[in-house]
Structure 1
Amino acid sequence: MTATPGTSAPQTHPHPPSPVRDALTLMSLPVLAALTVAGAFAGGGTRRWFGGRAESQRAEAQAAKDAAAAAFYELDTAQRDLRISIETISAVDDSPAARRAIADFEALGRRIDEASQTYIQAVDAQDLDRDDLDAATANRARTELTAAKDELVRVKGELDRFTTSLGPLLGSAETQLARLAPAVERARQALLGASNALDAVREKRLSADDLAARLAALAPELTKLNQGAGQHGVAATLERAERVQREAGAIRAEAERLPERAAEIDRRLSSLSTRAQALTTRSGQIEPVLSELRRRFSAACWQDLQQVPQQAAENVRQAERKLTEARAAREAQRWPDATSLLSTVRALLNTTDEAVSAAGDRLTRLNAVQKDPRQEIERTRFALRDAQRLAMTGRSAPDPRHARPLDEAVARLDRAVAALDSGRHPDYWHFLTETEAVRNTVARTVAQIREERGGPTQ
């Protein structure tokens, strides 16, 4: 808002893109000067002074004019300061609350223009320096100027209250602005750190092409950061700076781990190669185990192991092929490929190890139960009795939810024992799987009882 007494209409200022307080203060000085020029010349010696009531009214009108000018200047200054706050908010915040604040500021600006127009018209209505100014005219000028001043003061009060209401929005916006420069600087430093880490890796003759490509992809983001928030907005620039810092930090961390990663891949290549050779030797021992199982036990005890020798040999061959591919990937420094291939090798060898061990474990368990099945039976019955005692603790009769599975487990064990005693060639493996299933049922029931009673499940 800028107005000069003597004009017929107010002049409204366009919103400056980013004013600073000193410049705005200097811009408003001509207004104050214009408002006080007439009074400055009034004290000269060129005007004839008339005594009496006219001169008294002239003095009162001049005092009203000075008070109105001061009120106008205060309102103009406050409006300029508020515009800076509004521009700060609009640069950072696009929330509904911020948009309402901007709209309210524009509406308040229109009210300020109206009050300013009234003031300017009151100033232009009468020339208080006229020699022939009569008392009635001076009195009318005083009344109009006082009314204009009162309106300016009232609108200034509205502006002050609106300014106070902007506190939370302005505080949030200023906080974001305060974060902006440090965030951008951290992003630049993160990019520099990532670049230096890649240089250090290359000095060790390790390639990091994937990391270099990821770093190069951040170049457009750096360009936008350098262009600044004025072009891309504060919120977007903050988000971009944080993302660049995060991604550049990840690149740097991976680059710094690369030498250790290469060493770890070398260790895994050596270890898995040794393990593959050992499994090749162990796989050759499966056939004698199967031969003994066929000779001493019924088919049900070993039929599911028939394919183990062939599958083990195939798994080892496949693991060795993958090891060859992993070595080639390591030499080409294709680190992700080498890591993936070694994981495949490990899975193949684990599967083979489990299958080879299963055949030997089967023979050991069958030998033990054939020699003396009572140990397996007693072990299972003990678990059952222990669970039954727990189910009866503190009760005169067991809970059907607990008694039913335990009774079924007892019957299942009895059937397994009877089957073991009934045949000429007992199915010892079926017996072992049944007793194990009974113990699993017992364990689940015990865990349920303890959980319901609030005790430990183990």
Structure 2
Amino acid sequence: MTATPAQPYSPSLPRAHRPRRRFPRPPGPVRDTLTLMGLPLLAALALPAAFAGGGTRRWFGGRAESQRAEAQAAKDAAAAAFYELDTAQRDLRISIETITAVDNSPAARHAVADFDALGRRIDEASRQYIDAVDAHDLDRDDLEASAASRARTELTAAKEELGRVKQELDRFTEGLGPLLGKAETQLARLAPAVERARQALLAASNALDSVRATGLKADDLAARLAALSPELTKLNQGAGQHGVPQTLERAETVTRGAEAVRVEAERLPERAAEIDHRLVSLRTRAQALTTRSEQVEPILSELRRRFTVACWQDLQRVPGVAAENVRQAETKLTEAQSARDEQRWADATALLSTVRALLNTTDEAVSAAGDRLHRLNAVQKDPQQEIERTRFAIRDAQRLAMAGRNTPDPRHARPLDDAVSRLERAIATLDGRHPDYWHFLTETEAVRRTVAHVVSEIREERGAGH
């Protein structure tokens, strides 16, 4: 009889997992004869061998079979430990891949290196187990008790080594907790962040469509939104290609950019109305300042006639400066109107800001002339009011400096004494045929500023002392 060839040896599988050799298949005539006798095929094949004592296991009891059973139990326990370690290693590899997908920090790189080293320990323990399994065929009929004992010893040692490596792997897994938690948190943020970016882009696009439907152009906003398209493409390509941290950052950038476009698009009708209002308001103000500027020359004439040169010489250029500023403001208003008509909103806003600055400067200069005449009239009529106002400020500061003290602090007393002397000198300038009232007013103002500074210092120091 010709036996069926055995399956080729596969080094990747332990002997326990390889297919067993089949019984020889009898030739056709013999098989037919046995079948006609009414005997099952396998039973018929087994009968001659049982009687002849060849080709089957010798069913001896005693120590050999006991050792075989113990070796088989050790083999089963080692297989269970091998499977448990292999499963734990697969789970840990998933955790490591999660960390490396998100984290490129030194701690993460160190964890990967430790995992590789632990993998080499696992390979060594697994090789010891596989070698022990391959070295002993526990299904041999003539297995001796000593061979079974050696198999049990080697398989038990392999199981214990697998257990020790499994404990190392468990400790390593436990130490990965913080890194893994951080990575899982970032991964949990990834999908919502990308979805927010997409929704923000959609909202911005819808806002632009709504604005354009009203007849307003938003070319600059459309350009800004178009600039985000490459970023959206990268988001759609996924974190596997671009990395989780980079994808999260890109999603946040897209969300902020699209949200800004949406807000500006929704506000565009209001912005257009605001620019229209400012155009009208600033044009009216420019016209009013033109009228007021014409009144500066009569004011200067009166100042020249009644007061010394020092009281009005710094105002000589006000009429010319005012007229030039108003002219420039009107030119800028024309440019702003053109920008608004062309819906160049940023240009219109910038031009209106320039117009406002020019008109503010003109207003201050024109007002300064009228204010100067008013103050000089008041001090010429009654200088005593300005004197008493300044003396009251000095006395109030002196009382504060002496509060709770027998003598004032020299740092406070000296500037207050100087203020008294300065006021007296200013009062003295009023004597004479043509007093310099403007010098007198500027001196009293300077004295009050000095006194106010001393008061502020005293209060700060006492507040810090508390």
- Pair in the same fold by TM > 0.5: yes
Give the 5 Å matches for 1:40-439. Answer: 46-421=56-431, 423-439=432-448
| Counterpart contact for 2:58–2:142, Cα < 8 Å | no
CA distance in 2, matches of 1:169, 1:94: 11
CA distance in 2, matches of 1:137, 1:372: 130
1:18 equivalent in structure 2: none
How far did residue 40 of structure 1 move?
13
Tell me which amino acid in the other structure corresponds to 2:100.
S
Aligned residue for 1:377, secondary structure, equals helix
Give the direction of change, closer, same or farther, for the CA distance of 1:198–1:34 in structure 2 (3 Å limit). Answer: farther
Deviations 1:348-389 (A, max 9, x none): 000000000000000011011111111111111111111112
CA distance in 2, matches of 1:143, 1:393: 99
Give the direction of change, closer, same or farther, for the CA distance of 1:318–1:40 in structure 2 (3 Å limit). Answer: farther
CA distance in 2, matches of 1:110, 1:181: 36
CA distance in 1, matches of 2:247, 2:82: 39
- Structure 1 residue runs of 4+, over 4 Å off? 31-34, 36-41
Tell me which amino acid in the other structure corresponds to 1:447.
S
How far did residue 48 of structure 1 move?
3.0
| Counterpart contact for 1:319–1:345, Cα < 8 Å | yes
CA distance in 1, matches of 2:112, 2:426: 84
Runs of 5+ consecutive residues of structure 2 not aligned to the other structure: 1-8, 24-42, 47-55
CA distance in 2, matches of 1:454, 1:141: 89
CA distance in 1, matches of 2:315, 2:379: 19
Deviations 1:303-359 (A, max 9, x none): 000000000000000000000000000001000100000000000000000000000
CA RMSD of aligned residues (A): 2.0
Tell me which amino acid in the other structure corresponds to 1:341.
L
CA distance in 1, matches of 2:462, 2:91: 70
Tell me which amino acid in the other structure corresponds to 1:64.
A
| Counterpart contact for 1:221–1:244, Cα < 8 Å | yes
1:452 equivalent in structure 2: 461
Deviations 1:138-190 (A, max 9, x none): 11111111111111111111111111111111111111111111111110000
How far did residue 392 of structure 1 move?
1.4
Aligned residue for 1:94, secondary structure, equals coil
How far did residue 35 of structure 1 move?
3.4
2:32 equivalent in structure 1: none
The structure with the larger Rg is 2
Runs of 5+ consecutive residues of structure 1 not aligned to the other structure: 1-5, 12-30
Tell me which amino acid in the other structure corresponds to 1:319.
A
Aligned residue for 1:109, secondary structure, equals helix
| Counterpart contact for 1:115–1:155, Cα < 8 Å | yes
CA distance in 1, matches of 2:14, 2:103: 35
Aligned residue for 2:429, secondary structure, equals helix
Give the direction of change, closer, same or farther, for the CA distance of 1:65–1:36 in structure 2 (3 Å limit). Answer: farther
| Counterpart contact for 2:58–2:141, Cα < 8 Å | yes
| Counterpart contact for 1:32–1:69, Cα < 8 Å | no
Tell me the matched-pair count.
Answer: 427
CA distance in 2, matches of 1:334, 1:50: 104
Tell me which amino acid in the other structure corresponds to 1:449.
I
CA distance in 2, matches of 1:61, 1:292: 126
Tell me which amino acid in the other structure corresponds to 1:424.
R
Deviations 1:196-215 (A, max 9, x none): 01101101111111111110
Give the direction of change, closer, same or farther, for the CA distance of 1:140–1:389 in structure 2 (3 Å limit). Answer: same
How far did residue 36 of structure 1 move?
8.2
Give the direction of change, closer, same or farther, for the CA distance of 1:383–1:49 in structure 2 (3 Å limit). Answer: same
Give the direction of change, closer, same or farther, for the CA distance of 1:38–1:169 in structure 2 (3 Å limit). Answer: farther
2:17 equivalent in structure 1: 35
CA distance in 1, matches of 2:16, 2:112: 31
CA distance in 2, matches of 1:420, 1:49: 141
Deviations 1:262-292 (A, max 9, x none): 1000000000000000000000000000000
CA distance in 2, matches of 1:428, 1:283: 25
CA distance in 1, matches of 2:407, 2:373: 43
Q: TM-score, normalised by structure 1?
A: 0.90
